[in-house]
Copies of this chain bind each other. A is one copy, B any other.
Amino acid sequence: MSTNLRILVDMDGVLADFEGHFLKRYQEKYPREPYINVADRHGFYLNEQYAKIKPELKDLVFSVYEEAGFFLDLPPIAGALETVKELDNMNDIDVFICTSPVQKYTHCVTEKFQWIDKYLGNDFVTRMVLTRDKTVVSGDLLIDDKPNITGAEKNPSWEHILFTTPPNSRIQSNPSPRRLNGWHDRDSLNRIIESKRKEKFVKIIECQN
């Protein structure tokens, strides 16, 4: 076990404003089609909610984020870059970026690397993990806006912290994960980190005995 706290941070919806940028590009591309305001989004997958308006919208949704440049152009979420750098500068914390490419990965994977390079620098590029299964990545915390994160590992080492966004704000699961209501929600973040430090300390002491 490493003594540093390892915090895995998701990209889309946590560092990068996927939902806001999607709506902007969708409206530019399809100005005559119905759209859903970000505040009215619910459920994790955009295409599913759009398909309920009319089935043909599903393919339009894909066409927006499968386009070259979409992932590179995502604007950072308020407070994300500052907080992530600040956490990473702490002596006992390592931040890793943990992100899943979309099914049509052609532009997405390279642009995710470029985005991190551009906004957080090459040091963070060396701490990027691209995977569709986050359960096989080990860490103390995973800050992610996806409500249910499952995969090959049934007991992931991390505690999932649900990063609140409009699509997941009304979701209640049982047991419900602890939440971070945006990067400005510094009290929650500090409380979460402090609790993990204590847990880790107890584990290290146990290992030494």
Is the pair A152, B6 in contact by a Cβ cutoff of 8 Å?
A: yes
Q: How large is the interface on A (under 10, 10 to 19, 20 to 34, 35 or more residues)?
A: 20 to 34
This chain: how many copies in the complex?
A: 2
> Would B128 and A129 count as touching, CB distance under 8 A?
no
Find chain B residues with CB under 8 A from A47 CB: none
Residues of A within 8 A of B (CB): 1-2, 4, 6, 94, 96, 101, 105-107, 109-110, 113-114, 125-133, 136-139, 152-155, 157
Q: Name the B residues within 8 Å of A1 (CB-CB).
A: 154-155
Give the complex CA separation of A78 and B96 in angstroms.
35
| Assembled-state Cα–Cα distance A125/B154 (Å) | 20
Instruction: Please determine whether B129 and A94 come into contact, CB atoms closer than 8 angstroms.
Output: no
CB pair B2 A155 closer than 8 Å: yes
Q: Which residue of B lies closest to A105 (CB)?
A: B113
The interface residues of chain B lying within 8 Å CB-to-CB of A127 are 132-133, 152
Q: List 19 A-B contacts (CB under 8 A).
A: A4-B152, A94-B152, A96-B136, A101-B113, A105-B110, A106-B110, A109-B110, A109-B113, A109-B130, A125-B132, A126-B133, A127-B132, A129-B130, A129-B131, A129-B133, A129-B136, A131-B131, A136-B139, A138-B153
A131 surroundings in chain B (CB, below 8 A):
128-131
The chain B residue with its CB closest to the CB of A127 is: B133
- Alpha-carbon separation in the docked complex, A155 to B109 (Å): 29
